[in-house]
Chains A and B, each alone.
Chain A
């Protein structure tokens, strides 16, 4: 039983509240304020500049495209992985360790790892050359091959960030008592029916948090893209970085930041609504 209310819990949470206030809430407000103030007073100038920039529509399109392709693929891949892993009895720990290694790898390092594979004189081209499919080194990651570059980024993102979805889903699967699936089996459900009628609905809360986490991160995507394609493939966070660091224009960078936040919040809201579990349906 929790003890009666006293000053102790407040003293315990106070440091983190102050910290999050100063470094989360304040910058949040600052960003919004900064984005709406060009020169003096309220203005949409930064947003106009952002929108009129050549790369803007490309960045929006690319970011959405990446998210819409990568996130669903990650969920499907992670579900397949999780299903396979739960069938294992021997070697389960080792397999899980290897599959979750990318969890600890930064997006920059992931981009570099795939660069080793996909660069002009890299391993993909060497393999294609050995198979007689190409005559010499081919560039996949240049502005001239946008779809190849896109595909490379998708691969690197799948490689890096499926692990986190996998971990969340396996953690969720562990919370589902095996009796549910067994009962369904006894009452005549085939494996696919058990998966769609029992496992997936019961996994909904985990799917929801995995989707929120991954989508928010996907809209922030940046270093993978830079490592593989430089500025050949503009994305929103990358543009924010360029406006801040190279152009030293904090206002437009803030406008990008607000845009990314707005999209992330909207996506979160959509997931919370679409995948909500009514309280009475909780186990």
Chain B
């Protein structure tokens, strides 16, 4: 009837909460190697970007920063075409964000809230895009883009980048909207909102963080894309297209400066969306 105490001697703490220490050490060693594996090339390209001409050809190199200056970077940005390319990249990525959200979010909402004939066909179309190397489709577009005056414009580039980002946006927003209970909207209708008002007042605020993450992904997709951008531009190059074009003729430190500029926004963006990364890809890869 009373609580029985067994007669075992008491020995302080038993083994620690999770893994034994030898295995913990192994685990952290492995992780340290992996972290270094990711970070070291970024570190070196940064050194290359700020080391200037001297730094690049210094031999042998030390792994510590030497001869660092902003001069190399400002020189690079001063080259004719670089700044323009940067602006073009930003315009194309910005437009890609706008298009993929404007086109993708309504589709995602439709998939989340309605069942309608043709729904599966639409899903198939979206999924089909994944089995194709989409950037390759820029090849035949050259001709029609020239005809419509879209060739060699950031707008034209953003169109093909939207093809890359749109399926992703549709699938992610679908699950985003599915995660917002329909009852919230229905309550808004009952209290006098039109469908559109209910969406704007109830659904949109709740979906906003997820939409922002989707937008950032669309931006990164466009910012990083090389092939289509290179095919569809001649003078109004994006940064990736510009760098690809000058690869063979530009000095190494300019290449590294370009590489560094390409990497920086990605690192920040991944940091900004890290909470959504797994949710988003869990959905987008279904």
Contact = CB atoms under 8 A, between A and B. Distances in A.
A19 B166 contact: yes
Interface in A212-243: 212-213, 216-217, 219-220, 222-223, 226-227, 230, 237, 240-241
Given A106-B266, A254-B139, A101 B61 contact: no
A200 interface: no
Interface stretch (B4-12, B70-78, B205-213, B221-229): B221-229
**Interface of A: prevailing SS:** helix
B155 to A, nearest CB: 13
A13 B117 CA distance: 12
Contacts of B267: 101, 104-105
Nearest to B44: A116
Interface residues of A, number: 101
A108 B59 contact: no
Interface stretch (A53-61, A65-73, A143-151, A258-266): A258-266
B131 A212 contact: yes
B117 to A, nearest CB: 7
Interface string B115-136: 1111100100110011111111
A95 B35 contact: yes
Contacts, number: 298
A28 interface: yes
The 6 A-B pairs with the shortest beta carbon distances in the complex, nearest first, are: A104-B266, A112-B259, A171-B282, A106-B224, A12-B110, A30-B140
Interface of A: 1-3, 5-6, 8-10, 12-13, 15-17, 19-20, 23-24, 27-28, 30-31, 34, 80-81, 84-85, 87-89, 93, 95-117, 119, 121-123, 125-126, 129-130, 136-137, 159, 164, 167-168, 170-172, 174-175, 205-206, 209-210, 212-213, 216-217, 219-220, 222-223, 226-227, 230, 237, 240-241, 244-245, 250, 253-254, 257, 260-261, 264-265, 268
Interface of B: 18-19, 27, 30-31, 34-35, 37-42, 44-45, 47-48, 56-63, 99, 102-104, 106-107, 109-111, 113-119, 122, 125-126, 129-144, 159-160, 162-163, 166-167, 170, 182, 195, 220, 223-227, 230-231, 240, 243-244, 247-248, 252, 255-256, 258-259, 262-263, 265-267, 269-271, 274, 277-279, 281-282, 285-286
